[in-house]
Amino acid sequence: MGIKRKDKSSLFKLFGFVKSTEAVNTRGIGLGLAISKKIVEQFEGEIGFKSKWGKGSIFGFRVKLDEEISQ
């Protein structure tokens, strides 16, 4: 479905959800991405997304792993 430019800033905030998706997302309260961001930040990482309204969105993240784990 995608995310409108004006709604992008609210996505990673607590209780931040997109008004235009209320009909699609009837059970969410806007915690998932805020929690995900906190977890990623604990691993010295970053989280973000690309979106095109009417097409869809892609979310991704990077985290810093200990060398012993990544080998």
Q: What secondary structure does DSSP assign to the chain, as a single string?
A: ----GGGGGGTTSTT---GGGTTT-SS--S-HHHHHHHHHHHTT-EEEEEEETTTEEEEEEE----HHHH-
Q: What is the pLDDT of residues 48-67, one digit of tens each?
A: 999 998 899 999 999 988 77
**pLDDT bucket at 70, cuts 50 / 70 / 90:** low
**C-alpha angle with apex 14: 62 to 34, nearest 5 degrees?**
15
Task: Give domain 5-70's CATH number out of 3.40.50.280, 3.30.565.10, 3.30.70.260, 2.30.110.10.
Answer: 3.30.565.10
Q: What is the pLDDT of residues 16-51, one digit of tens each?
A: 666 655 555 556 667 888 999 999 999 999 999 999
**What is the pTM (predicted TM-score) of this model?**
0.68
